[in-house]
Structure 1
Amino acid sequence: MRALLIAGLLTLSTPTTLPAQQSDPVVTQAVSPEIEARARSLGRTLRCVVCQNQSIEESDADLAADMRVLVREELSAGKTEAEVTALMRDRYGDYVLLMPPVQGNTLILWFAPLIAALVGLFWFVSLRRRQQTDPLPALTEEERARLETLRR
């Protein structure tokens, strides 16, 4: 029993770490340092469609690794960043972009925070005005007399 307890404590006290994001070794050997830098820069603007709000460079998902490979292959083939981005948008839709374009179906994403802030500001100002314009009515003689008796 004592050996089992010691083994359990040693297991719990052993630090566990996750490996750091590694470049795909097959891909990085095949591309030049310039293309690798361009691919990493472009990869930071593309969302992993499996993960929530992580770029393909940050994600450990298998699909993100496949997307990184595709980006490097396309850049190695001589395509520009705009062409690779267009290819990814065609495959995965606008969701693949970490900064979605301003267009009809994304207007709510771009302007909802501003509208909410303006509505909140209007509500706050109208509340302050209402408080300032509603003075308390003057005390009647009866209320003043009662107040004087309470003070004593």
Structure 2
Amino acid sequence: MNRLALATLALALAAGPAAAQTHGGAMHGDHNPHHGGAVNMYGMIHYEIVVPPSGGVQVHITDEMRNDLPATAVSNLKAEIVRPNGAIEPVRMTINPTGEFWQGRSKPVTDPKSIVRVAFMLQREQVLVEMDGETFPDLLKAKAAAKPKAMPAGMHNGH
């Protein structure tokens, strides 16, 4: 094992079991969202897709141990939202001014039946991801909060 691999392993072990997991026999970071989105892994990177309640799409890239990578770790990132009625909303993605993540504007995703598609290039490989609205924690929280509360027995509107 080289020094870099040993240092990475030592850092992972020092962080504790909640922060480091194994994947295919290799040590890697957790899959907890750091930005309120849904986390997946491709090769040696993690990507977190976020659909903020106000609208838009963000994609954050981290390494296998969940250390932040610059947005340029992937290229040619594109996104679109497929609405439940079948309408497709393209989302023009750009790197944010700090270079930390990809971002694009869209109407809010409010229906868990919506699908968010993201495609990007990673070291000459094209990655295509399709996630339904139910995978986004903030969307599910907002939907649960919007549900009307049941009225106590014997009460009705206006009294």
* TM-score of the aligned structures, taking structure 2 as reference length: 0.23
**Which is richer in strand?**
2
Flag the structure with larger Rg: 1
TM-score normalised by structure 1 residue count: 0.23
